[in-house]
Amino acid sequence: MKTLVVKYLPRGEASNTKRLLDAFLQQARPAQLETLDLTIYQPEFFGPESLGAYIHRNYFGQALTPSEAESIASMDRMVKQFKSAGVVVMATPMFNFSVPGAIKTYFDCIMMKDETWEIRDGAYAGLMQGRRAVALVTTGGIYEGMWASYDLATPLLKTEFDFMGFDEVQIIMAQGLNARPAEAPDILARAEEQARALAKRWYG
Ligand SMILES: Cc1cc2nc3c(=O)[nH]c(=O)nc-3n(C[C@H](O)[C@H](O)[C@H](O)COP(=O)(O)O)c2cc1C
C-alpha cells in the first residue's frame, strides 16, 4: 500500500504544518512513500484547450487530438499518481480562510470524472474506495463560536475526499497558532499527538 504525501508548505523547514506531517510519518513509517510537493510541481489551471479536452473525453467519450491530449497530460499524470495510493496525506496551512490556491488547483486536477468519481444511476459516486485520506492543517486564528463559519478550509478538504469515496477521511487541525502564541507549543503538540495516534491506528 503506497502512501502519497501531497504538501504545500512554502515556509519549508519553518512550517508548523510540517511538524504535523513529520509526526505522522515518523509513526507511520510507510513502506512505500511518494511525495508531491506542490511548491515545486505546480498543478495547472484549466485553460480553454485543457477544459475542452477534459469535457470531450470524460463527458462525451470523444478521442482527443494530440494537442488536446498534451494539454491535459499533467493532470492525467497527477490522477494516476493519486489513484495509485492507498493512503493520501495532505499537508497545508490555511490561507485566507480556505486552502491555498495550489491545493484547490490540485483538487481541480484530480477530481476527474470516471477516474476518481463518476455518475452512476443518475447520482454522483466516488471511485476511491479502499483508501484513506488525512488532511493536516494549521491556522493562525481560531474557528470556534461566531468564527466557526469562517473556516472554509476543513469543510472543503472533507467534502473533496468524501466525494471521491474514500473509506475514511480525517482532518487534524492545529488552530490559533498566531492568535494565541503563548499556547501555540501546546496546541501543536496536541495535534502532533493526534497525528501519531492516527498513524498508529492506520499502520499498526
Ligand atoms: C498568505 C497567508 C494567508 C493566511 N491566511 C490565514 C487565514 O485566513 N486564517 C488563519 O487563521 N490564518 C491564516 N494564515 C496563517 C497560517 O495559516 C498559519 O500561520 C499556519 O500555521 C501557517 O502554516 P505553516 O507554518 O505550515 O506555513 C495565513 C498565512 C499566510 C502566509
Tens digit of pLDDT for each residue in 14-60?
999 999 999 999 999 999 999 999 999 999 999 999 999 999 999 99
Reading the block at residue 65, the C-alpha cell is 487530438
For the Cβ of 93 lying below 6 angstroms from any atom of ligand 1, the answer is yes
Best of 8, 17, 38, 95 for a ligand 1 pocket test (most atoms within 8 Å of beta carbon): 95
- Ligand 1 centroid to Cα of residue 171, in Å, is 17
Reading the block at residue 106, the C-alpha cell is 490540485
Model pTM above 0.95: yes
In this prediction, residue 136 carries a pLDDT of 99
**pLDDT tens digit string along 95-135?**
999 999 999 999 999 999 999 999 999 999 999 999 999 99
- Ligand 1 centroid to Cα of residue 178, in Å, is 8
**Distance separating alpha carbons of residues 155 and 135, to the nearest angstrom:** 11
Domain covering 2-203 in this structure, CATH number: 3.40.50.360
For the Cβ of 177 lying below 6 angstroms from any atom of ligand 1, the answer is yes
Report which protein residue has its CA nearest ligand 1's atom 19. Answer: 140
In this prediction, residue 4 carries a pLDDT of 98
Judge contact between 193 and 157, C-beta under 8 A.
no
Q: Pick the closest to residue 83 from 123, 43, 130, 120 (CA basis).
A: 130
Judge contact between 203 and 27, C-beta under 8 A.
yes
Judge contact between 103 and 149, C-beta under 8 A.
no
DSSP-assigned beta bridge partners for residue 32: 2
Rounded to an integer, the average pLDDT of 55-83 is 98
